């Protein structure tokens, strides 16, 4: 049975300040309410993806082993911190646009189209190979979101463009461990995290 706060349950009529509709009947100046809410709902999936990404990176941070452990272990923490900032920025933009951001884990699991990360304790290259594919997915979806919001709200578009640049830099750091001197990725052709991890190792 789910938690009940103060006896409240969905559908109950109450004057309590903790109960409100998810979407406020307002948005930012210059946008229609429907437009602001449309942009915010696009951002909700980016919020889920980035929340998942920062947890996945922390999982890898705890589970990398091998001779290059310390370099990779310490490389991941600034990425995690940066992505947590992105999560906060997206959530606050959603609230500004009039939509309540949902950061609850159950909502993330229900909404996501991807599975849990496949790698547990493994050498650093295995994790980095898998993380490269994770970054592929997150960055590609961020770029799609840029296209979706671009004609409606340039402020949100700018936010997503800046985040995409940071995410691409983080992926570059990961890929630098997987490339040879000619720039060839050891994970070339891998389509799953498990296969990327094996090829990287």
Identify whether 11 is part of a domain: no
In a domain, 64, yes or no: yes
pTM of the entire predicted model:
0.88
Terminal CA-to-CA distance of the chain, rounded, Å?
A: 44
Assigned domain for 18 exists: no
Bigger pLDDT: 8 vs 141: 141
Number of domains forming the structure of the chain: 1
pLDDT for the residue numbered 16: 43
The CA–CA distances, whole Å, from 163 to 86, 152, 158 equal 7, 18, 9
CATH code assigned at 118: 1.20.1260.10
CA distance 85 to 8: 32
The boundaries of the domain holding residue 156 are 33-200
- Residue 26 inside a domain? The answer is no
Q: Is residue 159 part of a domain?
A: yes
User: Is the pLDDT assigned to residue 176 strictly greater than 80?
Assistant: yes
Beta bridge partners of 185: 179
pLDDT for 35-70, tens place per residue?
Answer: 999 999 999 999 999 999 999 999 999 999 999 999
pLDDT band at 11 (very low <50, low <70, confident <90, very high): very low
pLDDT value for 23: 85
Give domain status of residue 153, yes or no. yes
Alpha carbon distance 56, 188 (integer Å): 22
**Residue 40 placed within a domain:** yes
Residue 116 lies in a domain: yes
pLDDT in tens, 83-114: 999 999 999 999 999 999 999 999 999 999 99
Q: Residue 165 and residue 163: Cα distance in Å, rounded? A: 5
């Amino acid at each position: 049975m789910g938690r009940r706060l103060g006896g409240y349950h969905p559908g109950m009529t109450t004057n309590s300040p903790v109960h409100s509709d998810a979407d406020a009947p307002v948005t930012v100046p210059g946008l229609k309410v429907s437009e602001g809410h449309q942009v915010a709902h696009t951002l909700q999936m980016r919020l889920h993806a980035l929340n998942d990404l920062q947890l996945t990176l922390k999982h890898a941070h705890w589970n990398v082993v091998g001779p290059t452990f310390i370099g990779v272990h310490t490389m991941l923490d600034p990425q995690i911190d940066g992505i947590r900032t992105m999560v906060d920025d997206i959530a606050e933009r959603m609230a500004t646009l009039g939509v309540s951001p949902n950061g609850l884990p159950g909502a993330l699991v229900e909404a996501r189209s991807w599975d849990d990360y496949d790698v547990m304790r493994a050498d650093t290259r295995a994790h980095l190979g898998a993380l490269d594919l994770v970054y592929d997915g997150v960055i590609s979806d961020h770029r799609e979101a840029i296209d979706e919001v671009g004609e409606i709200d340039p402020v949100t578009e700018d936010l997503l463009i800046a985040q995409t640049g940071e995410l691409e830099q983080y992926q570059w750091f990961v890929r630098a461990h997987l490339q040879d001197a000619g720039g060839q990725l050891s994970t070339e052709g891998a389509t799953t995290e498990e296969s990327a991890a094996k090829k990287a190792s």
